[in-house]
Amino acid sequence: MADGWTDNSHRSLINFMVDCPKGVCFVKSNDVSDVVKDVGTLLKMFEEVALWIGPNSIVHFVSNNGSNYKVAGRMLSEKYLSITWSPCVAHSINLVLKDIAEMDHIVYLVRRASEGWKEIVRPSVTCFATTFIAMRSLHEHKHDLQAMVTNKSFVDSRYAKRYVYDDMYRAKNAIKKLFKNKKRLYKLYTQIINLRWDRMLHRDIHVVAYYMNHAFKYDETSFCVKPEVMSGFLDTINSKASAFNLNKTRLMEESRLYSNREESFSHGLALETAKTTRPSF
């Protein structure tokens, strides 16, 4: 992970960290104040860290959403096929909230609700989420404003955690349910999510993490069966098998056993603990 931020002295810094099953490990921090706009220098920094760790040991590289970071991240993944790059999920979702907060009727409701009331707006960990925390506060204190607050299942959804595809899928379904599946009402919100999702977050690696998590795959009542799920899974098998010189036929056979719950995947213990154990990939 390349976490870009600005300190109290207004320096642009990048913290490089590694997230693995054993936890998060800090690698190094670079002052990029003079080179933050230089794609070539950013790429050199990214590559230096990747080579120190070992490209074949890196599955997923996440960076800031800045345009130069995006270009450098893509160039890194093109040079090292074992590495998949994607932008920061938290920032991408923050931009979704920003787009929704700027909708005319949301602006109007927040302005009306704030007139003459106290302790409504509280600072949030993400600036654009403040509007929605304020609205939730109103909901908790004024029953007549329930209509302006998002459904609790949506507020509590597991954003920015490990399974991005499942979170986005559930969030859109929650919005549709909130508006009683009336397309003319929910379309404005789902269009914003889809636009950010398609432009920034839609990566095969998120689809694969979703597909290969048996807690999702074996839940026939809620698993997403859109063609993009299988397509993303197959594209990843094809690209990673080439990068690591793996037998594609064997990988496809293994994936068939997994999908159909055959052999060891059909064992009672495996099925019983599917929703309580973390995938080991």
Dihedral (Cα; 264, 275, 228, 61), 10-degree rounding: -100
**What pTM was computed for the model?**
0.65
Is residue 89 within a helix (H) or strand (E), and if so which, with residue range? helix 89-101
**pLDDT above 50 for 148:** no
Predicted confidence at residue 51, as pLDDT, reads 95
Cα end-to-end distance, the chain, whole Å: 18
Decide if pLDDT at 95 tops 60. Answer: yes
pLDDT at 134 over 80: no
Span 161-201, pLDDT tens digits? 446 777 778 888 888 998 899 998 889 888 888 887 777 66
Mean pLDDT across 241-268:
86
The set of long-range contacts for 38-47, using a CB threshold of 8 Å and a minimum separation of 24, is 38/68, 39/68, 39/71, 39/72, 39/75, 42/68, 42/69, 42/72, 43/72, 43/75, 43/76, 45/2, 45/14, 46/2, 46/72, 46/73, 46/76, 47/76, 47/79
pLDDT at 226 over 90: no
Q: Is 202 or 240 the better-scoring residue by pLDDT?
A: 240
Amino acid at 171: A
